[in-house]
Amino acid sequence: MAVRDRARGGLGTEAARPDGIPKVRGDFAFSSDLHVDGMLWGRTLRSPHPHARIRTLDVTPALAIAGVSAVITADDVPGELHYGLISADQPVFARDVVRFVGEPIAAVAADHPETARRALEAIIVEYDVLTPLVDAEAAAGWEPIHPDGNVIRSVVIRRGDAAATGDVIVEGTYEIGMQDQAFLGPESGLAIPAEDGSIDLHVATQWTHSDRDQVAACLAMPTDMIRLHLAGVGGAFGAREDVSMQVHASLLAKVARRPVKMSYLRDESFVGHVHRHPARFWMRHHADRDGTLRRVEVRTTFDGGAYASSSMAVIGNAARFSVGPYRVESVDIEATAVRTNNPPCGAMRGFGSVQVCFAHESQMDLLAAELGMDPVELRLHNALRTGDRLPTGQVLRGAAPVAECIRAAMAHPMPDASPDEVLARPGGAGRTSTATEIRRGTGLAVGIKNLMYSEGENDTASATVRLAGGVATVKSAAAEVGQGFVTIAQQIVREVLGVEEVVFHSASTAEVASAGSTSASRQTWMSGGAVAQASRLVAAAICQAVALREGLTPEEVSLDGTTVVTPTARIPLADAVPDQPIEIATTFHHAPTEPLDEDGQGDADVSFAFAAHRAVVDVDPDLGLVRVVQITTGQDVGRVLHPTQLLGQVEGGTVQGMGLAVMEEIVVQDGFVKNPSFTDYLLPTTLDAPEILATFIEEPEPDAPFGAKGVGEPPIISSGPAVVAAIRDATGAPLRRMPVRPADVALG
């Protein structure tokens, strides 16, 4: 019998992605494709005002419409009236007051989407319109718009000598607009009531168990009476961390005693999920003549919108990473997330690090200019290394190849002059520019992102591995949102057990314990760690079984890679499996973290990942139009587990960051979203995407399973700031705001 040391499709290989072919062929069922016979269609009545008191709410005309099975409002919520990711401050339905445009007030279930739409129109709501609070910087001094107050969280980090200063001081103010996750699959799901009153909810989400707990609390049902099943997810990027239609659909199904499907339309989606926080910054950097950073001062306000969502955690990140991946002994940081009547903001890929990166990297460029120093050299001079202290006092114990990332990004060849064709120039198909009107510029930016949850939020991931008949099955509630964990989990099992055939079973909340959220670049580490741990326990159980079968003591049987070694034989693990299936469930923990103290000091993070981006842009300065030509990157990944999936994360994140630099912005005026469509919320097309060249720095992370760091977020953090720096280089425009609008360049 042939014995292979390693099963095909293990770690580091281009293992085939199990959901790849169905997705490419259009056979994959997304949550909006869900269907069951006899289902009703749910729709949501939403506030047309950013701030108003509800004077009257009368749903009886809607109930009178033929085909309408249920109409629910706050009065029908049997359990908790509020939900929320961290703090339950958001009403299931607004009762007395609405706090943002799009806030749910009622929901209906009807036999047809059109009937449901008419039912919404029939509901009578009378409002007393109130003055909306739309200026984040005025929030703290404004009359509270919510019982929890207008300041969601203020984080202070103070460290080192407050009198420290340097030879050179640079100061700047910066602003970042509101980015949207802009996933293609709208918020959607299907709630199916069972005979015993329990509910199966199939939904596109990032964290089934958190959804289950929030739905159960609002419906006043035990958690085991709500079974969350992950439906096909059409992108997430943080926007599916918060509950959207989960409670509404479940309650409608409970009341109507029929399956209820909900699927938002695109304009509804733009007010139906949280966005990336818009933010304003003031920063002052002090440095010596040789470029050594001496002190950094930061004041920043993040607009959290009407409800908290994950603002407390986002602002914690913003504070901890506001200096960037640089060593500095003295800091004075104040970061505040406030409540306004703007759309609620929460998690988006990069989670606070994106906003701060634009500000600290703009400052580093200002500083380099002031010192007459090469901006690359300035960054290398101050780059964090293993053993350095962060502003929180935490010592950086893991891999920190910041300088290597910068050098790798810079080492890629510069692009050639753009081809002499109109689609390759700024303005593209609009034919605005000829070659003589174009100027080229180059910019560099570097980012830092924590991996996993932080500040004492010590979460876990559970998984089950079963081995039977030569097939391994992973049961996990880790939400596959497109990132490819389904492949990684299979690779890990192959690596540990040497079994080639591995099935990934996306398990419901009734089958396995929580995997935690697919966010914070954590699933490869956490659920990957759980799958590895379970696989190793399965291997140990096989060894035990071999010992029992062969009449050996446990000490006489050992493992050599995926081979069972006895005094007389070497047997591949897969062939040593006993007749009885082996199934082991386990829970993985990361190293514990601690909350920050009142000076913002503490070991708040598990691990960090770094990336640097160099952007080359062509700009038409007269019109302010930009074509990003090339972005090169060096990224700290620990270890490459799947080269193509890694590149996919890097290319996607880089372009999403570039989108924030030059076009992606939710325009909010007086609390109203002015562009809730893909006609006017512009995402980069293939004609806008640059050439991307990536180098992966493989310095294994000591605590991480297989040494691998999460890779999803670092690509989005510094790519945008690098693009803005490149536009500055091409034009000389100061550009203190991201996204850069054509007028910012053309009219100054």
Partner 1 sequence: MTVLLPDSLDRALAHLAAEPGAHVLAGGTDFMVEVNYGHRRPETVLSLRRLDDLRMWHVEASHVVLGACVTYAQLLDPALADLMPGLAQAARTVGSPQIRSTGTIGGNLSTASPAGDMLPVLAALDAEVVLASSTGVRTLALSEFVTGPKRTARRADELLIAVRVPVANGPQEYLKVGVRNAMVIAVASVAVVVDHDGRTVRAALGSCGPVPVRCHDAESWVAPLVDWDARRIDDPRTHEAFGVRCAEAARPIDDHRSTAAYRSHACRVLARRALARCL
* Interface positions with partner 1 (CB under 8 A): 117, 265, 267, 423, 426-434, 437, 622-625, 627, 662-663, 667, 669, 674-675, 679-680, 682, 684-685, 687-688, 741-743, 746-747
Asked if residue 609 lies in contact with residue 713, where contact means CB atoms within 8 angstroms, the answer is yes
* CB of 431 or CB of 549, closer to partner 1: 431
User: In the structure encoding, which two tokens stand for residue 269, read together?
Assistant: 């989606």
Residues counted in the chain: 748
Closest by CA to 654, choosing from 601, 725, 711, is: 711
Cβ 430 to partner 1 shortest distance, Å: 4
* CB of 406 or CB of 662, closer to partner 1: 662
Distance of alpha carbon 94 from alpha carbon 636, whole angstroms? 45
User: In the structure encoding, which two tokens stand for residue 9, read together?
Assistant: 């499709």
* CB of 433 or CB of 509, closer to partner 1: 433
Cβ 740 to partner 1 shortest distance, Å: 10
Distance of alpha carbon 495 from alpha carbon 11, whole angstroms? 6
* CB of 623 or CB of 640, closer to partner 1: 623
Phi, psi of 78 (to 5 degrees): -80, -25
Which residues, in sequence order, are CB contacts of 455 under 8 Å at separation 6+?
Answer: 313, 316, 593, 594, 595, 596, 602, 604
* CB of 580 or CB of 669, closer to partner 1: 669
* CB of 1 or CB of 66, closer to partner 1: 66
DSSP 210-237: HHHHHHHHHHT--GGGEEEEEPBP---T
Question: CA geometry: angle at 27 spanning 22 and 31, to 5°?
Answer: 105
Cβ 662 to partner 1 shortest distance, Å: 8
Assign 465 to helix, strand or coil. Answer: strand
Cβ 739 to partner 1 shortest distance, Å: 9
Cβ 626 to partner 1 shortest distance, Å: 9
Nearest 10 degrees: Cα torsion 508, 511, 514, 515: -70
Distance of alpha carbon 76 from alpha carbon 63, whole angstroms? 14
* CB of 83 or CB of 672, closer to partner 1: 672
Cβ 687 to partner 1 shortest distance, Å: 4
Asked if residue 596 lies in contact with residue 455, where contact means CB atoms within 8 angstroms, the answer is yes
Q: Which helix (H) or strand (E) holds 37?
A: none
Which residues, in sequence order, are CB contacts of 138 under 8 Å at separation 6+?
Answer: none
Closest by CA to 616, choosing from 693, 714, 697, 696, is: 693
Beta bridge partners of 608: 450
Cβ 618 to partner 1 shortest distance, Å: 11
Decide the pairing of beta strands 168-176 and 737-738.
Answer: parallel
* CB of 225 or CB of 265, closer to partner 1: 265
* CB of 369 or CB of 743, closer to partner 1: 743
Cβ 431 to partner 1 shortest distance, Å: 6
* CB of 543 or CB of 666, closer to partner 1: 666
* CB of 414 or CB of 687, closer to partner 1: 687
Cβ 29 to partner 1 shortest distance, Å: 22
Which residues, in sequence order, are CB contacts of 270 under 8 Å at separation 6+?
Answer: 180, 666, 673, 676, 677, 681
Cβ 135 to partner 1 shortest distance, Å: 19
* CB of 117 or CB of 505, closer to partner 1: 117
Cβ 688 to partner 1 shortest distance, Å: 5
Cα–Cα distances in Å, from 262 out to 103, 107, 116, 241, 265? 16, 10, 11, 17, 10
Cβ 266 to partner 1 shortest distance, Å: 9
